[in-house]
Structure 1
């Protein structure tokens, strides 16, 4: 049963790995046709959140919905979402074109339509000449392009992007930003996680900052930077540094087992299939 809600909604969304809390009671809503900039330092819980919202990791507590469908129902949200993780899920032994055709068949795209979309995307990202080379011979930037095309090929309503410009040259990065803007113009929703704050400042309609699994501030970029004017801070970077410093000053110091990226450590412990 679907709910008449926003593109993304969470209620008390929580993920624990043993005694460690990666995401702590997250409440957020993301409206249709917007870019939500999801910020936070390494280990804040951003990747864990995105994995829960894409049904790859089961929440410990709380609930989440995509287009009104619960993330616990993977079949219901499958066609609605696209996901580009920080490391694109591609097969080295396939060519770029074969990778995209494989994914298109998984999404049940009609052959003619699929091939047209693949051709157009390859051309947009200057991959046409390399499309029939094995991915094992691709650079990091080329692999990133294939991963992004794969996430967008079936034209999902909600797209999750984790560091989408990683490894790209300036021209390709500019193309990615233009694509994101066009997606929202067409009514799609983009949940964007990146450490490049200028990207978020340019594209995001709403920004949320996660720190130690907690959403510590949220608002439009202009609204957040306006809060900093009294402290002579005028950029989103100023906001980010301020709110995370405030949380760090009131949080207990890390113990000997609490350093590093919590989401990375969790992968070796928990089977989320």
Structure 2
């Protein structure tokens, strides 16, 4: 005889409760009704802002040498949140090296860089997440279209694809790039390239923008567009530190400035404090060592036949 089949175990009428699905944090989305000249302010929302007494950027004794050449020597600098700050100096003064260390592209030999109170060396991921960076002479993927490049920047920064696409479209409208979005970046002019790279630096709503020569090779119309967006960004609580050779521009738009010569900060403070009774350009020339000696160039005025 075959063995009797075992009786099935009783089944409860109540099905087990499903485990709750994890809820992702809501992503900030700009209001579709935002006007073009306020797009920047609408996009840059999200993480809770740091306490007001925490500076957006603090450098303490930051030093960098290349071989026997000291490019930056024990620089101390503090920039309050919501500031438009200019870093000026002659060629080779250490501006790009300083900004590269702030951005995390170079590691200081000594000293500390803090971004909104976060130590860049101790917690680089958190510090870099709150920054947008535009390096000088940045090489990019210029075979991509402008739309593809901005989407890549957004996804790389952790945005959902739909959010990256929406912000790319809004930034393109603000930077007057909408008509060029489907063209490869290699076809862009110098000003258009600068604008699309700056848009990429802003797409993840950073608290701090680190911009190395953002107006170099940019025409006056594009410069005004960029300035308008950056001014709106600062007015909404963002912070900008930029290097520039344009003293008139720095004097017009920046509320703080530092003059760096030979890797050392020779003057810092508000624009009024640094320039004193002079224009910023005159004060810059004084600190940078005055005018060059043109003695001995009399032959230049004889002209060749």
Q: How much is the aligned-residue C-alpha RMSD, in angstroms?
A: 2.0
Residue matched to 2:100: 51
Distance 2:281 2:145 in 1: 39
Residue of 237, 240, 259 corresponding to 1:187 = 237
Question: SS where residue 289 of structure 2 aligns?
Answer: helix
Give CA deviations for 1:79-98 in whole Å, capped at 9, x if unaligned. Answer: 11001112234202211110
- Aligned-pair CA distance for 1:203: 1.3
Structure ranking higher in helix proportion: 1
Aligned residue number for residue 214 of structure 2: 164
Match of 1:28, SS?
Answer: strand
Name 1:25's counterpart in structure 2.
74
The separation in 1 between residues aligned to 2:216 and 2:173, in whole angstroms, is 20
8 A Cα contact 1:45 1:211, kept in partner: yes
Q: Could you list the per-position Cα deviations for residues 208-251 of structure 1 after superposition, in whole angstroms to 9, with x for gaps in the alignment? A: 0000100001121122222xx3xxxx3110110111116x9xxx
Tell me what 2:31 maps to.
Answer: none
Match of 2:120 in 1: 71
1:245 aligns with 289
Match in the other structure for 2:150: 100
Residue 270 of structure 2, aligned match among 220, 223, 246: 220
Runs of 4+ aligned structure 1 residues displaced above 4 Å come to none
| Contact 2:134–2:212 (Cα < 8 Å) also in 1 | yes
TM-score under structure 1 normalisation?
0.84
Please give the per-residue CA displacement for 1:113-148, whole angstroms capped at 9, x wherever unaligned.
Answer: 222211111122221121111112222222111111
- Return the alpha-carbon distance in structure 2 between the equivalents of residues 142 and 204 of structure 1: 23
Gaps of 5+ in 1: 249-273
Task: Tell me if the contact between 1:6 and 1:30 (Cα under 8 Å) persists in the aligned partners.
Answer: yes
TM-score relative to the length of structure 2: 0.75
Q: Which runs of 5+ in 2 are unaligned?
A: 1-49, 293-305
